[in-house]
Amino acid sequence: MRKSSMLVGLFTVLLLAFLPCTHSLAAEANTLKFGLISSATGPMAPAFKSILDAARPAEDLFNQRGGITVKGQKYQIKILTEDDQSAPPGGIAAINKLIQDGVKFVYMPQFAVTNMALAPIAEENKVLRIKGLGIGTEEVGPKLRYSFYAAAIAYNIPVCYDFLAKNYQKVKRVAIISPDDPGAKSVREATEKEIQKRGLEVVFEEAFKIGSEDFYPILTRALATKPDAIDMVISIAPWSAGVINQSRELGFNGPIFAAILADTNILNAMLNPNYAHDVFHGGADVWSPKMMPIMKEYRVLVERQLKTPLNMDHTLLIEGIYPVLQAIEKAQTFDTDKVVTTFENMKSIDTIYGQARMGGMEIFGINHVVRRPIGISRIMNGKVEFDFYGK
């Protein structure tokens, strides 16, 4: 009897020792790993580090909302981050690391050059990739089965020109000043077509080098052509603020706009108050009460955890991940081939901007773009105005 009790006791000890291990394995099995590649170091870090900073708040947001359910099993979301070092070699190293870690879903680099470099490896390994705001046709197309955009700047262009026509009817002559970037090139070409379609005239066009701070030479040449408006095509806050402040210094008071300029509130804070007028773009004011409830939940998490105001770059991460999670749940599998097929045929998708559907065929040759509502943010007299204007 005593021997039997000792055996029972020994079994209990062994069982208790094993339980934490089985619990850990179960927890691991019930986790969906989502990769995130962005720039923590290098010249693109000032623009894109906020996306990496947002990993924990984004993770908490989706998990507080219940994660996802596949075949009756709930899964928590785990975001694994990698620094692409603002260059293709760093991006290639990052995607290889995530693949080694078993990741099949990735938020891809915003910097087009880096994303294009890692695409062949990701495609070969069937890694489904998405970015919150897509730029050109180089990153999404029929040859890239596993690549998606949660939004595409190409769709912002006509909405911005509708806004220009409604609010600045005297504009006839447009100067195009944009970054020298592969993604910007395709957006610039789309912008030129839009201008031509509307009977406007491009009186100046020049691209500046990535990292530029002195825009006076290019602006002097541009303003000599007497434009009514300046279209920056796409930009980030330091470049946008530089062009706006310096062009106003040189006496230009017309509208300055783009398909996307930067986070509106950050940009507004960087402008000389005397120059903070008639600036608009196809980006949201992420602080606006007109945003969806999920954005308000996210803002609380970001500002509590990061001790910094929510900005547009923070929102790019959830904008990208949110539709993919819905596609996985609808497909009821983690098989990326099946998720891709489900995703590209979805007729209704919840986004941080409201109801959306899949599209993109007419521009990208494939239905891999989420067509969500597009807002216009305008800075007037140092204050931000915002509303939704189209899809």
pLDDT tens, 188-219?
899 999 999 999 999 999 999 988 999 999 99
Q: Which residues contact 257 (CB under 8 A, 6 or more apart)?
A: 160, 163, 164, 229, 230, 231, 232, 279, 280, 281
pLDDT score at 155:
94
Can you list the domains of the chain with their CATH numbers? 27-154+293-372 (3.40.50.2300), 155-287+377-390 (3.40.50.2300)
Spans of the chain below 50 pLDDT: 1-28
CB atoms within 10 A of CB 261: 29
Half-sphere exposure of 190 (CA within 13 A, CB side): 26
CB atoms within 10 A of CB 206: 14
pLDDT score at 110:
87
pLDDT score at 291:
92
Asked if 19 and 64 count as a contact pair (C-beta separation under 8 A), the reply is no
Distance CA 331, CA 320 (A): 17
pLDDT score at 391:
67
Name which of 281, 290, 245 is nearest 263 in CA terms: 281
List 305's β-bridge partners, or say none.
none
Task: Answer positive or negative: Cα dihedral of 180, 176, 380, 254.
Answer: positive
Tell me the pairing of strands 73-83 and 31-38: parallel
pTM for this prediction? 0.85
Q: Which residues contact 22 (CB under 8 A, 6 or more apart)?
A: none
